[in-house]
Chains A and B, each alone.
Chain A
């Protein structure tokens, strides 16, 4: 083996050691390797032989562990891909058992509630109360936030639960339905605070929670699909030998419990198997961002050409709320999956087009509806649909503005993350208002 080969082998080994850390990507290794080689060459000029030079150069570069730890501190988003987060690696086995315990608690809770009042209106309204606090408790167990915050979270959950149930909703009240919709959202933010653990104010941790939310939704849908297939096949297989009443009874137990337990399991999966979804989410956004951009631009042109003679239409407004949520989700997902070091490019431009088209479209519709709302009066549903629309519109407009500035090279893309994570409390506040204030304002109509 020539001395050159020895050096190459040594560098290969060093590179393998560095690459093992997921916080260091291929480009970083290249950069570090260039450094190493130059240092070796310089040291050789001072009279060291190659082997000595390599040893000194590696020593100067620093222990692989501490250097990769430093990379991990800077590139936290890459660590997202790692199976187990640093610091939790010591308790590898326990989260699985704990997850199972919490999942069983959620499944049992929903059954107790179903037996107590499965046909009552409060059952639907309180559905989230039986499941999401369990998920929050799971994160409290996992992250150990300060005790005062845990007490505050528990107090919020209790307050929401009491309010949702002492309000004397009239039968078929719109406000009752609004509570049923907004209570899960408010509780999801409780989960979020528990998820953030100790660093509640950190923008990057909040972004992690946004990512977590999206990936949790993907996992939940996947699990639900699997569950659906299982239930469908069960009924097909059992149909010839047992009466339908029997397996309907089985489903009555299995489906609510499975749905509740899946909330916890999906959360655990997101945390445990980050790299799996990591590969799906960017692909999904890459496919759908251009498609949505095209659809939205076409819709804008269509609306402008055809004009809108619609009266105030709640369904249309809700459809636009859904549209804004989807566009926002695409944008958020796209942003959170992007490499923060990559310069802005075509996908960011496409995102901007989609956002601007969605904003224009929404403004056109919103404007025409607001002009007529006076004739129809304010009902709880209209107020809620309008408020959500305005909140989403402001969020999207802010995101579009910052994306535009980033494209022009005025600000760093990090500013988009900061805007988003800073805006999260607005959503939380509105969901709480919908649960706690709107029913009072409309006197439980």
Chain B
């Protein structure tokens, strides 16, 4: 099952914030974690992660600083901020409302199929 592009875009920012709430990380590791969490079902163009990270940084939801990888290459590490945690809590509320509403419709309806309900990782 491939998840719809618009839905992936909508999930991207809560997903990244959730992963960073688990602890500081950097681009490639964040993407690996996304793949892991979605079992490869989330088709995400890797390059799109970075503009998203920069947007979250500009909004003050995450903080970035340059460090280095074990091989000695420069690497940009990201950490969630207070405002990022608040933003994440807000997004969790919104997603929970959305999934609850859809779940109520699909879970009890005659044509309902269980796979329609989606669990957001970490939420």
Contact = CB atoms under 8 A, between A and B. Distances in A.
Do the two shown chains form a genuine complex with each other? yes
Interface of A: 27-28, 30-32, 34-35, 37-39, 60-62, 66-67, 70-71, 73-75, 340-341, 411-412, 414
B10 to A, nearest CB: 16
A31 B47 contact: no
Contacts of A31: 27, 50, 75-76
Contact of A32 (B45, B47, B58, B73): B47
A71 B76 contact: no
Interface in B33-55: 45-48, 50-52, 54-55
A34 B51 contact: no
A67 B47 contact: yes
Interface string B25-37: 0111001000000
Q: Which interface residue of A28, A62, A70, A71 has the most chain B CB atoms within 10 A?
A: A70
Given A75-B54, A412-B58, A414-B59, A70 B48 contact: yes
B65 to A, nearest CB: 9
B73 A34 contact: yes
Contacts of B57: 341
14 contacts: A27-B76, A28-B54, A30-B74, A35-B31, A35-B46, A61-B46, A66-B45, A66-B47, A67-B48, A70-B48, A74-B52, A75-B54, A341-B54, A412-B59
A412 B59 CA distance: 6
B122 interface: no
B94 interface: no
Contacts of B28: 34-35, 38-39
Contacts of B116: none
A61 B47 contact: yes
B54 A62 contact: no
A60 to B, nearest CB: 5
B69 interface: yes
Given A340-B58, A412-B60, 16 more contacts: A27-B76, A30-B74, A31-B50, A32-B50, A34-B28, A34-B75, A35-B31, A38-B69, A39-B46, A60-B46, A62-B45, A62-B47, A66-B45, A67-B51, A71-B50, A412-B83
B58 A341 contact: yes
Interface SS majority for chain B: helix
Given A34-B73, A34-B75, A74 B47 contact: no
Contacts of A38: 28, 69
A157 B47 CA distance: 47
A61 B48 CA distance: 8
Nearest to A37: B73
Contacts of A341: 54, 57-58, 64
Contacts of A411: 60
Given A74-B51, A341-B57, A411-B60, A34 B69 contact: yes
A60 B55 CA distance: 21
Contact of B74 (A34, A66, A74): A34
Interface residues of B, number: 24
Nearest to A23: B51
A62 B51 CA distance: 13
Given A34-B27, A341-B58, A414-B59, A62 B48 contact: yes
B78 to A, nearest CB: 10
Contacts of B45: 60-62, 66-67
Nearest to B48: A70
A28 B50 contact: yes
Contacts of B55: 74
Interface centre among B31, B50, B52, B59 (most CB of A within 10 A): B50
Contacts of B54: 28, 71, 74-75, 341
B79 to A, nearest CB: 13
Contacts of B52: 74
In the A-B complex, the 6 residue pairs with the closest CB atoms: A67-B47, A62-B45, A412-B60, A62-B47, A74-B51, A70-B51
Contact of A73 (B46, B51, B58): B51
Contacts of A74: 51-52, 54-55, 58
B74 to A, nearest CB: 6
Nearest to A73: B51
A70 to B, nearest CB: 4
Contacts of A412: 58-60, 83
Nearest to B61: A412
A412 B87 CA distance: 14
A272 B73 CA distance: 38
A405 to B, nearest CB: 12
Query: Which residue of B45, B57, B74 has the most chain A CB atoms within 10 A of its CB atom?
Result: B45
Interface string B92-106: 000000000000000
A30 B74 CA distance: 8
A35 B60 contact: no
B26 to A, nearest CB: 8
A75 B50 CA distance: 11
A28 B74 CA distance: 11
